[in-house]
Structure 1
């Protein structure tokens, strides 16, 4: 039983933080006698003896930074991970990269394992921190880890002691809508995503606000829920086509994957891009140059984004003050998928 234990599990049973367990095991004086007694009782109960590797991980830096991404197949995530990896290596650290296959249980397991292995910091890209509402259990996990290891996320964790480096979704929508309205479009649809995800929620709130500010009608039937895949985009435009006698003249897709599906559906209905429907997407991955016409898309400058994530992690490792929230400003890259509305 003792060999199955780790300091995280000991902390749970003793009702203390993992950092407190570490201090007890290294005989650090900065632990109250009451907490020390609880930890030592659990250790004795299971006859726990950490191996040499675990002892070393408790006492010293590992020079390893964990990078956890929701989906390594998706080019948004792979671009983010690649640029984090390059920056981590350039700064003299070793990256440990894990993909969670969009499985929330696997994400929790990997965070715990990264903590057990004593990463110097953990960078979380996507996953449970993308949720609009944070589960209390997840916030508690992040807080336990963050007591001794800096945690940086591209999302947000309500009540979580972590740093946020997030995309300014509202600004991305500002630029998309400004472009389309400037080209004369008045009927603009929004396809993809679900409001339970914060990034999608933020986009939709700004979309509605901008319609109102520009004196345009909000049509609920023009906002389509779907997953974030190519098939999701395809099904999204199919639903839009079937549910509307008057089609939009422009579509904003939730990401490049979704936009590819939207394009396929548009063409299957005998419509043309951009002559009949203009199209803008988010993420500006390599996909935008693989389709005809090439996609206009919101870009994040992945190199700068990755560098900011790693800089934040290293500043926290070094004990520097870091803003709780930092915003990444996106830029719309205009290509052949948008055009002026023909009157």
Structure 2
């Protein structure tokens, strides 16, 4: 074991504050990483504040990790000291079930091991995330960061990026398709970029007139004010896909109505009940599909990183001193960020 400095929450009522955690010595297949940057996801807030009632304290959040390899285990073949690498939302799985064998570790039949607030399947120790100076992870759950990518702006790709890339590729978005994106936050703006890069015509749905120019600047071809009945009537039956990034309960029926027959509405943000209730006729009448998608497997995450490098895609970020993390949480809850905070881990060492 070695000690590492970190930031975490000691209880549901406490702010994030400095603490010391243990990191294991590298196993034969492990990569030890000095963390350079870590993105801040809204999920981090949910766990730090126990919004979902499953947090085990102390908790060290952070699952959008970019760092430099400092050491490798004896069996590591994919990385060497000095490589710039990334770690996302999971750090292990059973590695033997059908999902894992297909490179879909996020759907591991035994349950993936999350980067934080999880338990290592080998020794039972608690997993701690990227708000720390170092991490040790099996090479299977590490991706290479292409040299062309800005290292700081690449951090949110490990969550916001793969969460939106995976369903668009899985469901076959290609040139000529029409894709709607619901939500203009960290996920939504990445969905616009990926859909455009895949050749689709992109329509953004927003409730606010003030977001029209913002959506257009991100690459949207069209913007629909979802609170305007006339605009929603005009888009009815026009889209092949809707990528729904909204994380809170909302009415999906109007967006289903925007799909053509065989259209697919993909939920990537909502984990709660669909409310108001779903109208079955919106599915049955046009053979539409309401689907969901969770991050992506490790092969696809590497594919996404390479795709971003090839297409000059990164996340729009604001750099953050870790000492300001609690204030950043408040800004995120108020949607006062365009579109992702990234912690400079040098500030932790200071």
Larger radius of gyration: 1
By percentage of residues, which structure has more strand? 2
Q: Using structure 2 for the length normalisation, give the TM-score.
A: 0.32
TM-score by length of 1: 0.32
